[in-house]
Amino acid sequence: MIRFEHVTKIYDQKSRPALDGIDIEINRGDFAFLVGASGSGKSTFLRLVLREDRATRGSVYVAGQNVARIPSWRVPRLRRGIGVVFQDFRLLPNKDVFGNVAFAMQVIGKSRAVIRETVPEVLRTVGLEGKGHRLPGELSGGEQQRVAIARAIVNRPGILLADEPTGNLDPATSVGIMNVLDRINQNGTTVLMATHDDDIVNSMRRRVIELSAGKVIRDEAAGEYTTMIPVINADGTRELQPAARPAAQAIAPFDTEEDDL
Ligand SMILES: Nc1ncnc2c1ncn2[C@@H]1O[C@H](COP(=O)(O)OP(=O)(O)OP(=O)(O)O)[C@@H](O)[C@H]1O
């Protein structure tokens, strides 16, 4: 579904490549986490999939197409097949929940009848049944992210990219969001989620692709992720150690839902 062949991305000749010789294949129906420290290249990876940027060397294939070869006028069609969710939700503040989701259908010319039928279905999928008339400002962060997910999947994309979707949410709310993403994946959508959240990754036990300084340093089928923090030793040397995790931050197992969906 997504294939990177020897992909290098250089923004600035004076700095190291943002991505450096990446070879990776994500199959249809996969659920994969893209992890790594800040600056390791996760957002760049997602931008190349969307063709918001082009690889300096190598090729990016999405659903079998080499994205560099897609003419500009066809890029919107590529993007229509890819739903995207961000950390900061990016909802239209003056439109209600229904309007935010409907908007994604209106811009591609769907009829009012189809919109009226589809939006409530998708709101049900993300656990927002009955909240269609609320404005984003009247929703919790977790609910706003559910609206953003509904908007991302309403046109039934084959791929869902999520860039730190739980970054602004507390652990319990994040579990609810992960349940929604998991369900979307079970319905056949390929999900690629960039995250720093080791609790989430370790609870899900899905594929983990770890980037470090633009290179893939790990690719495991049911992986874990341990974020490292710099520690200054008594002799002044600095080293990376796994972050200690206070018990209070542990999150509930995934079968306990934030609320009933
Ligand atoms: N538009 C740009 N111009 C120049 N350099 C950039 C640009 N975007 C990213 N970079 C550089 O590329 C490298 C990878 O950045 P990227 O944003 O992909 O990392 P990331 O893993 O998504 O980080 P974060 O977790 O902080 O979002 C970094 O060194 C960054 O400074």
ipTM: 0.95
pTM metric for this prediction: 0.86
Ligand 1 centroid–CA 176 distance in Å is 29
Ligand 1 centroid–CA 54 distance in Å is 14
Indicate if the pLDDT at residue 246 is higher than 60: no
Nearest ligand 1 atom to alpha carbon 45: 18
From 12, 42, 88, mutation site for ligand 1 pocket: most ligand atoms within 8 A of C-beta: 42
Taking CA atoms only, the protein residue closest to ligand 1 atom 7 is 11
| CB neighbour class for 236 (10 Å; exposed up to 12, middle 13-18, buried from 19) | exposed
Is 9 touching ligand 1 by the criterion CB < 6 Å? no
Indicate if the pLDDT at residue 193 is higher than 70: yes
Taking CA atoms only, the protein residue closest to ligand 1 atom 3 is 11
Q: What was the pLDDT predicted at 249?
A: 43
DSSP string, 170-229: -HHHHHHHHHHHHHHHHTT-EEEEEE--HHHHHHH--EEEEEETTEEEEEETT-----EE
Q: What was the pLDDT predicted at 230?
A: 65
Average pLDDT score over residue span 152-169: 94
Alpha carbon distance 33, 239 (integer Å) = 25
Average pLDDT score over residue span 195-202: 90
**Kind of pairing between the strands at 159-163 and 190-195:** parallel
Alpha carbon distance 130, 103 (integer Å) = 18
Average pLDDT score over residue span 155-174: 93
Indicate if the pLDDT at residue 54 is higher than 50: yes
From 34, 40, 225, mutation site for ligand 1 pocket: most ligand atoms within 8 A of C-beta: 40
The amino acid at 170: D
Indicate if the pLDDT at residue 155 is higher than 90: yes
Is 34 touching ligand 1 by the criterion CB < 6 Å? no
From 9, 43, 197, mutation site for ligand 1 pocket: most ligand atoms within 8 A of C-beta: 43
Q: What was the pLDDT predicted at 223?
A: 73
Nearest ligand 1 atom to alpha carbon 16: 29
Contact residues for 20 (Cβ-Cβ < 8 A; gap 6+): 8, 41, 213, 214, 215
Q: Where are the domains of the chain?
A: 90-156
What is the 8-class DSSP label of residue 54? -
Q: What was the pLDDT predicted at 225?
A: 81
Q: What was the pLDDT predicted at 235?
A: 83
Tens-digit pLDDT profile for residues 74-122: 999 999 999 999 999 999 999 999 999 999 999 999 999 999 999 999 9
Tens-digit pLDDT profile for residues 175-188: 999 999 999 999 99
H/E stretch holding 76 reads: helix 75-80
Contact residues for 66 (Cβ-Cβ < 8 A; gap 6+): 59, 60
Q: Residue 174 to residues 15, 36, 118: CA-CA distances in angstroms?
A: 35, 19, 25
The overall average pLDDT reported for the chain is 89
Q: What was the pLDDT predicted at 224?
A: 77
Alpha carbon distance 151, 118 (integer Å) = 11
- Stronger pLDDT, 259 or 197, i.e. the higher one: 197
**Kind of pairing between the strands at 31-35 and 190-195:** parallel
Q: What was the pLDDT predicted at 243?
A: 62
Q: What was the pLDDT predicted at 222?
A: 74
Alpha carbon distance 77, 16 (integer Å) = 32
